[in-house]
Amino acid sequence: RQKHMEKQKMRLIVASNNANKLREFREILGEQFDIVSMREAGIDADIEENGTTFEENALIKANYVMNVGNSAAIADDSGLEVDALGGAPGVYSARYCGRHGDDEANIDKLLKNLENVPKEKRTARFVCAACCVFSDGKIITVRGECEGEILTERHGNGGFGYDPIFMANGKPFGEITSEEKDAMSHRGKALRLMSEQLKNIITE
């Protein structure tokens, strides 16, 4: 009987198949929603991220998946902003070296471009915009940031992307556990903000 009374969770498709991202979405939003990946929703697509901001790209991805998947969807878009490079690589973080997703080449290029930049000028931040769209047209967008600095060489072998050369709160991201990272990362912050906003919506 108790089970019968439970409200069914709303399905929320995550516009990603990245296992690491899905784990984080499930951890933070799984109590409120039935989180499914694009693959689980039967969506096979390489969505073109041609926006000029993280928010625009997150909205493009979430909208696409909502329309094709016919249910509420959530997407995130993230990247690294380096102050000494005027905010680059920014929305181009995944393809900084010219190819999509070559983390090692991206890191090499970034280290080269910061070769003569002293420690105090190597400030940077990871940024994550998350966007949730509903079939009634409601849209929620949030942003999380994680301030840090770019190291002069790789540290540790954990994480992904630029983690080996990023340090926040004195901790190189390549050397911390995924729990430690979730607690201070841009994506962790954005998803916790999203969770709060979604609570307001659901109880409205």
Binding ligand IMP (rule: CB under 6 A), the pick from 69, 148, 159, 172 is: 159
Binding ligand IMP (rule: CB under 6 A), the pick from 161, 172, 174, 188 is: 161
Binding ligand IMP (rule: CB under 6 A), the pick from 33, 59, 65, 79 is: 79
Asked if residue 197 lies in contact with residue 191, where contact means CB atoms within 8 angstroms, the answer is: no
How far is the C-alpha of 115 from the C-alpha of 50, rounded, in Å?
30
Stretch that binds ligand IMP, among 29-37, 66-74, 77-85, 137-145 (CB under 6 A): 77-85
Amino acid of residue 159: G
How far is the C-alpha of 34 from the C-alpha of 41, rounded, in Å?
12
Q: Does 160 bind ligand IMP (CB under 6 A)?
A: yes
Q: Which lies closer to ligand IMP via its Cβ, residue 20 or residue 135?
A: 20
How far is the C-alpha of 141 from the C-alpha of 21, rounded, in Å?
17
Q: Does 93 bind ligand IMP (CB under 6 A)?
A: yes
Q: Which two tokens stand for residue 92?
A: 């181009």
| Alpha helix positions (H), the chain | 2-5, 19-29, 54-69, 103-113, 178-184, 186-203
Is 77 designated active site?
A: yes
Around 54, how many Cα atoms within 13 Å sit in the side-chain half-sphere? 26
How far is the C-alpha of 22 from the C-alpha of 127, rounded, in Å?
18
Binding ligand IMP (rule: CB under 6 A), the pick from 162, 174, 176, 190 is: 162
Residues 2-21 that bind ligand IMP (CB under 6 A): none
User: In whole angstroms, how close is the CB of 153 to ligand IMP at the nearest point?
Assistant: 16
Residues making contact with ligand IMP (CB under 6 A): 76-80, 93-94, 106, 126, 159-163, 185
By annotation, the residues acting in catalysis are 77
